[in-house]
Amino acid sequence: MTTYTHSIDGTGYRFEGLRVLLARASPARAGDVLAGLAADSARERVAAQIALSEVPLREFLQQPLIAYEHDEVTRLIIDGHDTVAFAPVSHLTVGGFRDWLLSYAADATSLAQLAPGLTPEMVAAVSKIMRIQDLVIVAAKCRVVTRFRNTIGLAGCLSTRLQPNHPTDDRKGIAASILDGLLLGSGDAVIGINPATDSLQAIIPLLQLVDDVRERYRIPTQSCVLTHVTQQIQAIERGAPVDLVFQSIAGTQQANSSFGIDLALLAEARAAALSLQRGTRGDNVMYFETGQGSALSANAHHGVDQQTCEARAYAVARAYQPLLVNSVVGFIGPEYLHNGKEIQRAGLEDHFCGKLLGLPMGCDVCYTNHAEADQDDMDTLLTLLGVAGCTYIMGVPGADDIMLNYQSSSFHDALYLRQVLGLKPAPEFQQWLQHMGIFDSAARVHRLGLDHTLLGLTGPVGA
């Protein structure tokens, strides 16, 4: 194991191996303190960052953070590494890589070509020596486009997942939230329901509900019921209308095992979804969610800091060509991300790392009521992510998810971000919104008459 050293003001700092070096270099956050991995002082952190900046990128290929023999995510990362794509930066150190990313030579094309040559550890490492503005400007240069029934991730676009959750999966309640979201221009990334009850009997009627709405109003979008992947495979086997298959994923084999999944199961799920051939514009059929702290929460982090574990989850995601990936950044709670500042930094790191690895990265801009955060913190993160070119955000009625008990972004938040940054929904969806009279030609919400056809969505109740 390599020992990395750096001296500051006559004090020598030693870091045994890349795992320790990465953890000590990580900007401060509660989860790394909880795991006993964080730097002991501000100076130690900067010493680690300086030492990290001098590490050649190649070293991350030679020294896996978690043993190749014991972790299938490590094997996926090492075996899947594209040395040809890596060539343009293979001579660089982490610090040199940061300079290259910021250079004018790094543009949408060169970054897309580079993505298969990067490992999550390289990307996590460089993020640790980047400030917020670096994370924003580099992510904004990346362009990742995916397709199912519409086109996600084009320049100048911001999509939204309409998240109409209901604590008892009441169909009329869910329909009412879908109606509200559509009338405010939300839902082009996916109409995705987190069911309260994790059973096949509960999810099939929900899949049917969203599919009926989508068919009836010819909405160019896709649907998803976010339950365990095994349930969705069974739903497909029973002939249910499954567009996207969802799964929460993490960056170590052991953490994935705590979710009840492995890589083979994800491949099986993808094959099942592809077999239905429901996509009209493309075949990106997977939807993944992640979040810093999930590996530690499952006691499956192997001494790796939470941000690096998170980046490793993106290596899992990219193996399955997903339509959508988002970190649920503030959901996990204050023991991992203590306050608004930590949540903001983490959200931008996750978006940056995902984009650099070639993922259609969105973000659930969110917090819980036991975190030291509020709506002002979310507005800040939302705005920064918009500037960074975030692929999509969540749309929850009034930002209040009444099933999962946390605050996410609202339909109004998306309208704010689109207005202030001149962003539009996916083009197919934008066209539909205008056709339905929901948006005007300047993508502003119209006042709709009570005779609007969409009001039939909730049945006789809403008409």
Q: Residue 450 pairs with which residues in a beta bridge? A: none
Q: What is the CA radius of gyration of the chain?
A: 22
Q: Hunting for tokens 């051939």 — which residue is that?
A: 277
The three-state DSSP-derived secondary structure of 309-343 is HHHHHHHHHHCCCCCEEEECCCCCCCCCCCEHHHH
Q: How far apart are the first and last CA of the chain?
A: 69
We find the least distance from the C-beta atom of residue 274 to other proteins, in angstroms, to be 23
We find the least distance from the C-beta atom of residue 305 to other proteins, in angstroms, to be 16
Closest by Cα among 374, 287, 375 to 328 = 287
Closest by Cα among 448, 401, 393 to 421 = 393
Residue closer to other proteins, measured from CB, 69 or 376: 376
We find the least distance from the C-beta atom of residue 67 to other proteins, in angstroms, to be 19
Residue closer to other proteins, measured from CB, 279 or 291: 291
Coil, strand, or helix at residue 130? coil
We find the least distance from the C-beta atom of residue 406 to other proteins, in angstroms, to be 7
Residue closer to other proteins, measured from CB, 1 or 442: 442
**Tokens (6 digits) for 310:** 């998170």
We find the least distance from the C-beta atom of residue 138 to other proteins, in angstroms, to be 29
Residue closer to other proteins, measured from CB, 127 or 247: 247
Residue closer to other proteins, measured from CB, 337 or 385: 337
CA angle at 394 for the pair 436 and 33, rounded to the nearest 5°: 175
Residue closer to other proteins, measured from CB, 351 or 418: 418
Residues 6+ apart with CB under 8 A from 445: 183, 184, 185, 415, 438, 439
Closest by Cα among 358, 419, 415, 408 to 381 = 408
We find the least distance from the C-beta atom of residue 433 to other proteins, in angstroms, to be 12
Residue closer to other proteins, measured from CB, 281 or 446: 446
Coil, strand, or helix at residue 362? strand
We find the least distance from the C-beta atom of residue 224 to other proteins, in angstroms, to be 18
